[in-house]
Amino acid sequence: MGQGQSGESKHVTTEQLSHELALKFAKRCFTPLELYSFQDVFKSLAEHQDHIAYVKEDTIARFLEIPDIIGVSSVVFQMASYLGAFPFGQDAPVVLGFEQMIMVVVIMTERYQRVLKKGHRDRTKLLFRSLAVFDRKEHQKESEDDSGDKASVTEAEAPRSHAQGFAVDAATNDEDEEDDDDLALAALESLDAIEVFRHGDAPIAQASIPSDNLKKLIMLLLLIAPLNSQESLARHAERLSGENLEGLRRTADNILAAFVNVEKFPGVKIHQFNTVIPISFPFLFNGFNPLFEHFLFSKNIDFTKRKDGSKAPPVIDPQVDQPLLPQTGEILDLNVLSQLSFFIPGETLFRRLRLLYSGGDAGFSLGSFETRVFNWRAPTILLVSGNRISDPPTGGQERAFTDTLHPKRFPDSSKSEHVVFGVYVAQPWRQTHKECFGDSDTLLFQLEPVHEVFHASTINTDYVSFTKPPSSHSGISFGCPHPKAKQTAGLSAHVNLGAVSLMLDSSFEFGVFTHNYTMGGGAFHNSQTRRNDFQDRFEIESLEVWGCGGDAEAEQQRQRWAWEEREAEALTSRRTYLQEGTIFTKKLS
């Protein structure tokens, strides 16, 4: 029976297979109510020409409330026009009819996983293809190399592409990338039509995402990162004006820098895309899920009407009306919060962060840090920003700090003067006396000027140390060997910095981030994109710690603070009582 189906499928057109897959997706990926809503939404949005119903770019942008100011509508439409052709990318771009939009929504909401059990990879490569353009110059060069002379490659002879091409100045090594798309293969296998896959989709190594398009998409992803299901994007319109908009652009630039140096290369290749996303942006595209789920909820359907004609009380999500960030910090704002959600699950961040410590308010000292942070019994996020120290240092304090570091200095990581680093610490903070604390969930990261996440190693466990005087080189460090109890003869006067580490001195005046690629990594893994030695020495401008958790964690901390306050008052009362008793005794004598 299987052989018969396979033999028949050779004579089936790609249009017929696409139709069959769309029906399969609609039946198994949508509930009956969702499918009914989708049909109603599509009907309300569709244009008609020659008996063909389809949706246009501006219609999709208006329905999803994509803001015009960031200019991303054409990028989203390009993605949809490619995904609508799934699994036959060579047919893109396609007119977005009913069946094509089923493909788009199923892929953008990741519901394809309900059907394509063997599509074990995520949609990253498919999204890359939907964003990329085909580099015809590179293809022509390869054709010339293969033929030994200048072969003329006409547009008709070149593989089809879903967008016009552009030239990439320098290509990365993509030899290890396969052209096969796991999701497309799984889709065709589910239809018993695997043999029709290998048809002329442009080789992925010859494709590249224009940097400007990727930046626009990143701005949109930053906006939609906190969206809940059915939540309107218009609710976050305040992030698109004035300083908020400029901050959104700056954050997008920092994220784009993780993929490509825009001063040298005009686009992002598949090798960079596949290398950066799993490490630094595993949740980058999560915002597409609630955004495209809007197609599954029709405003023309009254979901509150009961069978008896009465109306059910509206379901209100208590979280929606709570602010995404109860208060902004000197470093953390809504844009940086969305940036964090690209590698820390959003459910632990949005509406759940509380400012525990800010150096500008509480004072830059280990004591105030300890008082305000150590009672939090849930994960925390430390953020530190500063400006680069000149080389050689100019002020006396700068020179004193640099004297504690090894005289061999690595180059700066970038031309930018301003830097932002951070650490996600899953365990409660404590003072360390002999060994570091933390676990493999600890994350060391840079947010500005280049976004990158350095994951913890399981071999070296020097994750976090918090040491106070008289320990040598006291302060807070991440990825550094624990400082010795005290300075003794024969020990180096220089701080022992880890291969990938961040160290803040005891006065919170200066910090240093080190990436010793040559050493081969320590408590945190080396960068996979910046394979060189660099070091950023900076004067601390802002330092803050945010607690991850809800009301239960906050109440626990409040009770702990109240207990400590009562203990302190009781201790003061006892001391006063003893002092007054001593004075009274002396008077009697």
Instruction: Convert the pLDDT of each residue in 531-567 to its tens digit.
Output: 999 999 999 999 999 999 866 655 565 565 555 556 6
Q: How far apart are CA 68 and CA 367, in angstroms?
A: 49
Burial readout 68-105 (b: 16 or more C-beta within 10 A, e: otherwise): eebebbebbbbbbbbbbbbbbbebbbbebbbbbbbbbb
For the segment 83-87, the average pLDDT, to the nearest whole number, is 93
Confidence of residue 176 (pLDDT cuts 50, 70, 90): very low
Instruction: Convert the pLDDT of each residue in 162-172 to its tens digit.
Output: 443 333 334 44
Confidence of residue 270 (pLDDT cuts 50, 70, 90): very high
Given a cut of 60, whether residue 258 has pLDDT beyond it is: yes
Domain locations in the chain as residue ranges? 2-292, 334-549, 553-589
Q: Which two tokens stand for residue 455?
A: 């994951």
Q: Can you say whether the dihedral through the CA atoms of 76, 78, 79, 81 is positive or negative?
A: positive
Element (H, E) at 33: helix 32-45
Let me know: does 515 contact 500? Beta carbons within 8 Å: yes
For the segment 492-507, the average pLDDT, to the nearest whole number, is 90
Confidence of residue 494 (pLDDT cuts 50, 70, 90): confident
pLDDT at 82: 95
Confidence of residue 470 (pLDDT cuts 50, 70, 90): confident
SS (H, E, C) 364-417: CCHHHHHHHHCCCCCCEEEEEEEEECCCCCCCHHHHHHHHCCCCCCCCCCCCCC
For the segment 134-144, the average pLDDT, to the nearest whole number, is 54
Residue whose tokens read 């009274």: 584
Q: How far apart are CA 512 and CA 516, in angstroms?
A: 12
pLDDT at 390: 86
Least confident among 234-248, 272-286, 346-360, 545-559: 545-559
For the segment 27-38, the average pLDDT, to the nearest whole number, is 95
For the segment 217-229, the average pLDDT, to the nearest whole number, is 96
Calculate the alpha carbon distances from 500 to 32, 33, 453, 478, 549 in Å.
52, 52, 11, 9, 28
pLDDT at 578: 62
Its pTM stands at 0.84
pLDDT at 154: 36
